Amino acid sequence: MDLKNKKIVVLGLANKRSIAWGILQNLKARGATIGICYFHQSNLKRVKPLAEEIEADFYIEADVTKTEEIENLHNVIKEKWGTFDGLVHSIAFSPSEEFNKRFHECSKKGFFETLDISAFSLVSLCQVLKPLFSNNFSIISMTYYGSKKVLPGYNLMGVAKAALESITMYLAHDLGRDGIRVNAISAGPIKTLAAVGIPNFSTFLDNIKDHSPLKKNVTIQDVGNLASFLLSDNSSSITGQVHYVDAGISIVTK
């Protein structure tokens, strides 16, 4: 797959363990031109050397809960590229305290913050950036099977991922007439910075490895391979779907 003519913006890079990093490495290897957005200023010291390593055209802070910061991203893309060809939404957040309580005890503030950052932000990005979308534009987001089945402790993030998957379908239907494709990748559990806050996550990883058909955990590189395909013209007739890269664990009943 050749992505040499593709200009792609990836949101959600935090460090070398980020799923976004696996995607960025794959895109770079296939010749894509890259722009990076990170969520908070505190991430800059980790993001800067990674952005320089893959020779990103730009890397900027963008709080996706603030319209003015998405508009700033719009202006940077317009100035640098004019239009672009793909968007990767690899953003998820829920307050740490929401993982350590019973679900019915979740706070309204935590609920709306989780949904705003992890799900509605994809809609916000489309609202502001759509004028810059090229023909055959491709959007992908990152979800997880906790949207379909209960993962104890995943709590509000499971609700947010369910919302994100529904948003994927509705955006695909709405934007399809404009030649824009929208898909989601449901990756198996990966030890990212975000996952560290989930109770007993390391034990959960071992359990997945033992019971998945392929007897392994997936990597950020596995996700990067699928992302590159969905961002390429090879997937030009695929939209509105959730694509699993999880060593087959989602088909297992246990």
pLDDT tens digits, residue range 18-75? 999 999 999 999 999 999 999 888 889 999 999 999 999 999 999 999 999 999 999 9
> Please, are residues 185 and 143 in contact by the beta-carbon 8 Å criterion?
yes
Which of the following is catalytic: 38, 59, 144, 244?
Answer: 144
Q: How many CA atoms lie within 13 A of 35 on its CB side?
A: 25
Catalytic position from the list 59, 145, 154, 244: 154
Q: Bridge-partner residues for 36, per DSSP?
A: 10, 59
How long a stretch of residues is the chain?
254
3-state helix, strand and coil shares in percent for the chain, rounded to the nearest 5: 50, 15, 30
List pLDDT tens digits, range 141-172: 999 999 999 988 899 999 999 999 999 999 99
Contact between 64 and 120 under an 8 Å Cβ cutoff? The reply is: no
Catalytic residue list contains 170: no
Can you name the CATH fold of 7-245? Rossmann fold (3.40.50)
Contact status, residue 122 vs residue 171, Cβ threshold 8 Å? yes
Catalytic, 59? Answer no
**Residue 149 burial by CB count (10 A; 0-12/13-18/19+): exposed, middle or buried?**
exposed
Place of tokens 């694509």: 243
Q: pLDDT tens digit string along 191-220? A: 776 666 666 677 778 888 899 999 999 999
- What pLDDT is attached to residue 12? 96
Q: Which residues are annotated as a binding site for NAD(+)?
A: 12, 18-19, 63-64, 91, 161, 190-194
Instruction: Give me the residue spans of the domains in the chain.
Output: 7-245
Tell me how far apart the alpha carbons of residues 4 and 112 are, in angstroms, rounded to a whole number. Answer: 39
How far apart CA 103 and CA 21 sit, in angstroms, is 31
- Contact between 74 and 128 under an 8 Å Cβ cutoff? The reply is yes
**What is the model's pLDDT at position 197?**
62
